[in-house]
């Protein structure tokens, strides 16, 4: 705690105020103590005295009434009650008198009178006590009398009854007995009567209230007992002794200790008591007057004391209040000066600073920060608060921006986004999510569960697939998505594919990105198909290339055999047949090469409609009468750049396929139309049985056919495919089972003339020029059989031939033999030096050296060569090409010489 701080100041003020109030309180207590002492003086002396005096007076009055009760008491019980009440009052009076004496230093009038009254009352008490004892003795004598009476009754009763029984029933007694009974009953009855009378008289005496009446009853009782005693001799002898005792007891009541004497003394004592009571009453009256006077005096004294006390209390209270008020005012002033005012000012400054801060003034300065008290702490804390507020505001703004960005991202992102909570209820989604699934807002606004979403998807026949391609069910996926990162696809019946990436979220549930990959999947499928076709094409081309080499050897040798077997017709015939078979094989290879886009094409600008129209007759003939052929040719179509021969073959193939698909009856429609930029489409549609969807991807593969085993080669559509592809177009096939199939060929529109490479003119020209006969030709081929054949064929035409099986050897020979006039080389050769490399190196040494190339699968680079002979090379073609090159060389080398 800092004593210089506000708390310290306030504490100091409170301590000082408390001390001041303590001093004032002590002063007040002292004053009150004085007041209490004064009051105690009054209450301790005057009040008890007055109280005791008043009680004495009240008891005195009551004793006067007691006297009347005592006089009026006629029964022993009433008398006893009155006596008891008087004795009780006397005891109370004595106590109160003693109490009064104790309060006074010297006896006053009340005390003196009380003392006299107490003496009288003691006399009264003694008289009453004596009277009570005498009354008890009289009561005892009454009981004795009654017992004696009972004794006499028991004594004489049975005899009386026995005698009465006789006297009352003369019929059952003899007369003598009766008379005896009558005579004898007199004393018994007299004894009974006198006993009753004596008892009654005694009881009356016990209740007599005056000596006179008592004397009168005593005299009567005396007469009765005398008579009773006189009966003794005449009573039955057996009863006399006990009767005598009883009669004596009766008479004994007349003696000094008898009931009559006791009753007389009791009455005398009662008279004395009444006299004492009367004297007491006089004293009581005086006492009352004295007490009244004392009460009056005490009342005045107490009034004076009370007034004094009131004044004292008033002054003391006033002083205390004033002192307290002064302390409070001083404490308030000091507090205001030292605490409240600075506190208020600084708080106002802080408030102002906060207001300005709230208004955006960031450079607001808080006053009082230099103070070393709580205000200073507050100002410094506020400064820190202010800085924190600015930082918070900045962070809040950034957060808002990020949040808005995030929301905008979610709303505008191309992919769908959804969040399911730990109860697997959909709790968040973006518009794209709804769009991807085709849900409306109402369907998901009720936070449906993932199971409900799955049901909705199942109703739409959506199927789920794992990344490995295996199909799974949606509910199993939902369970996994809660605990694991999960990727899967949903495939819709309309070929829409959604890729889902789910990740569990820490709070439970999972978030999912829904990406529409329909186009990607379609593209991938197309790419896959293209790659497959490319692979098949490369494979097919490779085989065809090798097969061409083989065919070239076969055909070449057969030609030699045919040429040299003119004299042997049988051999010649077999050679011709073999040549025919070889030619068919070559044709087959040619179609394979067409598929693998390795056939030699001679593209030209073709009027497609004219080409179709030109083939109509041929097609109708080929299709048969039951097949109707319709053509639907668009007007003003641009020409297409294509080799018309293969195109016609392609059109024929398509028509034949259509016919075969229609089982001999139906309609074939051939249409032309403009397609997207730069293309014209030629399509062939039929109304046949169609092709199953799962087979559509395979129909362009070589040797794939849906026809019976002996009806198709499986190369028709392959050749079409290869031809169109090689021509720069595309092929599309649509087929609906039981409805029909449509094959569309998109062919490139022709561009400006002259841009297309002209094919090598392979038409053999005329026969050997004699000058060229001795020319030396270097033949290079890694296929030694074909190399040998080719060498033999050229030698047959008179040329000098040197051969090499690889590029290095060929270069060696070129270097060694400068007479070599022409280089004839295969393009593809092992050993690191291809036909191109060989030709290039040879021309570097001999720039004028003519070069002919040959290849079974020349590729794109080879296609551009003008001097390329496609294997298998017919001998005449080879001879013509050699001759042409040699002649051209001779013209170049001889011209300067002309």
Interface residue list for another protein (CB under 8 A):
149-151, 153-155, 157-163, 165-166, 172-173, 177, 180-181, 183-185, 188, 236-239, 242
Q: How far is the CB of 266 from another protein (least distance, A)?
A: 24
Q: How far is the CB of 55 from another protein (least distance, A)?
A: 42
Of the candidates 815, 813, 857, 855, which has an alpha carbon nearest to the alpha carbon of residue 835?
Answer: 855
Interior/surface letters 776-791, b for 16+ CB within 10 angstroms, e for the rest: ebbbbbbbeebbbbbb
Q: How far is the CB of 142 from another protein (least distance, A)?
A: 14
CB-count burial class (<10 Å; 0-12, 13-18, 19+) for 852 = buried
Choice between 230 and 236, CB closer to another protein: 236
| Residue partners of 720: CB distance under 8 A and separation at least 6 | 650, 653, 654, 700, 731, 743, 745
Quick one: CA dihedral 812, 815, 819, 820, positive or negative? positive
Q: How far is the CB of 48 from another protein (least distance, A)?
A: 50
The answer to whether residues 873 and 764 touch, using CB atoms and an 8 Å cutoff, is no
Choice between 126 and 232, CB closer to another protein: 232
Q: How many Cβ atoms sit within 10 Å of the Cβ of residue 370?
A: 8
Q: How far is the CB of 201 from another protein (least distance, A)?
A: 19
Q: How many Cβ atoms sit within 10 Å of the Cβ of residue 151?
A: 16
Choice between 180 and 301, CB closer to another protein: 180
Choice between 88 and 172, CB closer to another protein: 172
Interior/surface letters 170-182, b for 16+ CB within 10 angstroms, e for the rest: eeebeeeebeebe
Choice between 109 and 162, CB closer to another protein: 162
Choice between 177 and 344, CB closer to another protein: 177
Choice between 126 and 242, CB closer to another protein: 242
Q: How far is the CB of 185 from another protein (least distance, A)?
A: 8
Choice between 167 and 220, CB closer to another protein: 167
CA distance 371 to 365: 14
Of the candidates 691, 810, 685, 672, which has an alpha carbon nearest to the alpha carbon of residue 746?
Answer: 672
CA distance 651 to 525: 27
Reported as type and span, the H/E element at residue 387 is helix 374-412
Q: How far is the CB of 197 from another protein (least distance, A)?
A: 16
Q: How far is the CB of 240 from another protein (least distance, A)?
A: 10
The answer to whether residues 807 and 834 touch, using CB atoms and an 8 Å cutoff, is yes
Choice between 231 and 642, CB closer to another protein: 231
Q: How far is the CB of 136 from another protein (least distance, A)?
A: 16
Reported as type and span, the H/E element at residue 416 is strand 416-420
Q: How far is the CB of 164 from another protein (least distance, A)?
A: 8
Euclidean distance between the first and the last CA atom of the chain, given in angstroms as a whole number:
128
Widest distance between CA atoms in the chain: 236
Q: How far is the CB of 150 from another protein (least distance, A)?
A: 4
Left if phi > 0, otherwise alpha if psi is -120 to 50, otherwise beta: which for 678?
left
CA distance 619 to 630: 11
Choice between 173 and 220, CB closer to another protein: 173
Left if phi > 0, otherwise alpha if psi is -120 to 50, otherwise beta: which for 571?
alpha
Choice between 41 and 172, CB closer to another protein: 172
Of the candidates 40, 58, 54, which has an alpha carbon nearest to the alpha carbon of residue 296?
Answer: 54
């Amino acid at each position: 705690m800092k004593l210089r701080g506000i708390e310290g100041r306030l504490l100091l003020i409170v301590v000082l105020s408390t001390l001041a109030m303590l001093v004032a309180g002590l002063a007040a207590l002292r004053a009150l103590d004085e007041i209490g002492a004064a009051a105690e003086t009054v209450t301790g002396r005057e009040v008890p005295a007055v109280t005791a005096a008043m009680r004495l007076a009240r008891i005195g009055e009551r004793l006067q009434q007691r006297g009347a009760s005592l006089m009026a008491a006629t029964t022993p019980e009433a008398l006893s009650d009155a006596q008891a009440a008087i004795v009780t009052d006397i005891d109370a009076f004595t106590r109160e008198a003693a109490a009064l004496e104790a309060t006074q230093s010297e006896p006053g009038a009340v005390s003196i009178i009380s003392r006299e009254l107490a003496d009288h009352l003691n006399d009264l008490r003694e008289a009453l006590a004596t009277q009570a004892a005498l009354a008890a003795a009289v009561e005892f004598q009454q009981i004795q009398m009654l017992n004696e009476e009972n004794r006499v009754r028991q004594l004489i009763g049975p005899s009386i009854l026995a005698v009465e029984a006789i006297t009352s029933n003369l019929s059952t007694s003899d007369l003598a007995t009766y008379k005896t009974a009558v005579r004898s009953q007199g004393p018994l009855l007299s004894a009974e009567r006198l006993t009753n009378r004596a008892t009654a008289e005694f009881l009356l005496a016990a209740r007599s209230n005056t000596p006179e009446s008592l004397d009168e009853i005593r005299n009567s009782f005396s007469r009765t007992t005398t008579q009773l005693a006189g009966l003794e001799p005449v009573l039955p002898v057996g009863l006399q002794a006990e009767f005598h005792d009883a009669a004596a007891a009766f008479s004994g009541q007349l003696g000094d200790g008898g009931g009559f004497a006791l009753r007389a003394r009791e009455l005398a004592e009662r008279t004395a008591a009444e006299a004492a009571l009367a004297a007491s009453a006089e004293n009581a009256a005086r006492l009352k007057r004295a007490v009244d006077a004392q009460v009056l005096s005490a009342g005045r004294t107490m009034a004076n004391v009370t007034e004094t006390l009131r004044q004292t209390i008033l002054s003391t209270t006033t002083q205390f209040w004033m002192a307290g008020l002064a302390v409070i005012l001083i404490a308030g002033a000091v507090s205001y000066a030292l605490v409240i005012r600075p506190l208020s000012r600084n708080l106002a400054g802080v408030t102002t600073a906060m207001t300005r801060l709230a208004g955006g003034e960031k450079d607001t300065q808080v006053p009082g920060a230099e103070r070393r008290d709580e205000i200073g702490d507050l100002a410094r804390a506020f400064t820190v608060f202010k800085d924190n507020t600015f930082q918070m505001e900045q962070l809040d703004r950034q957060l808002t921006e990020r949040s808005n960005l995030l929301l905008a991202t979610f709303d505008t992102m191309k992919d769908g986004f959804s969040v399911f909570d730990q109860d697997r209820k959909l709790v968040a989604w973006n518009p794209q999510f709804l769009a991807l699934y085709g849900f409306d807002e109402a369907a998901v606004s009720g936070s449906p569960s993932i199971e409900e979403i799955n049901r909705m998807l199942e109703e739409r026949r959506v199927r789920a697939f794992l990344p490995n391609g295996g199909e799974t069910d949606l509910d199993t996926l939902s369970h996994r998505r809660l605990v694991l990162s999960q990727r899967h696809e949903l495939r819709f019946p309309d070929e829409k594919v959604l890729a889902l990436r789910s990740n569990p979220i820490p709070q439970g549930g999972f978030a999912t990105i829904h990406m529409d990959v329909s186009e990607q999947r379609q593209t991938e499928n197309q790419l896959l198909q293209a790659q497959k076709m490319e692979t098949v094409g490369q494979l097919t081309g490779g085989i065809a290339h090798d097969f061409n080499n083989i065919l070239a050897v076969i055909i070449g040798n057969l030609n030699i055999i045919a040429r040299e077997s003119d004299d042997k017709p049988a051999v010649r015939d077999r050679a011709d047949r073999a040549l025919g078979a070889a030619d068919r094989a070559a044709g087959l290879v040619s179609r394979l090469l067409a598929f693998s886009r390795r056939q030699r094409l001679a593209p030209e600008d073709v009027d497609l409609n004219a080409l179709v129209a030109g083939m109509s007759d041929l097609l109708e003939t080929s299709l048969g009468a039951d097949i109707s052929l319709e053509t639907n040719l668009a007007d003003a179509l641009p020409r297409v750049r294509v080799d018309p021969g293969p195109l016609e073959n392609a059109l024929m193939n398509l028509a034949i396929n259509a016919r075969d698909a229609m089982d001999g009856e139906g309609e074939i429609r051939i249409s032309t139309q403009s397609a997207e930029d730069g293309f014209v489409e030629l399509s062939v549609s039929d109304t046949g049985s169609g092709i199953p969807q799962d087979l559509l991807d395979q129909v362009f593969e070589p040797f794939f056919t849906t026809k019976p085993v002996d009806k198709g080669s499986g190369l028709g559509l392959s050749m079409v495919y290869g031809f169109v592809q090689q021509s720069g177009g595309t092929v599309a096939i649509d087929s609906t089972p039981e409805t029909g199939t449509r094959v569309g060929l998109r062919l490139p529109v022709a561009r400006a003339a002259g841009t297309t490479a002209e094919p090598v003119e392979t038409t053999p020209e005329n026969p050997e020029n004699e000058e060229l006969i001795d020319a030396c030709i270097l033949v290079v081929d890694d296929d030694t059989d074909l190399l040998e054949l080719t060498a033999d064929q050229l030698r047959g035409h008179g040329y000098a031939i040197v051969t090499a099986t690889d590029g290095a050897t060929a270069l060696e020979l070129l270097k060694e033999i400068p007479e070599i006039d022409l280089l004839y080389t295969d393009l593809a050769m092992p050993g690191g030096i291809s036909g191109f490399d060989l030709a290039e190196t040879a021309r570097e040494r001999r720039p004028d050296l003519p070069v002919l190339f040959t290849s079974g699968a020349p590729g794109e680079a080879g296609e551009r060569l003008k001097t390329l002979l496609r294997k298998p090379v017919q001998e005449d073609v080879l001879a013509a090409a050699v001759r042409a090159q040699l002649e051209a060389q001779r013209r170049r080398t001889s011209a300067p010489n002309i």
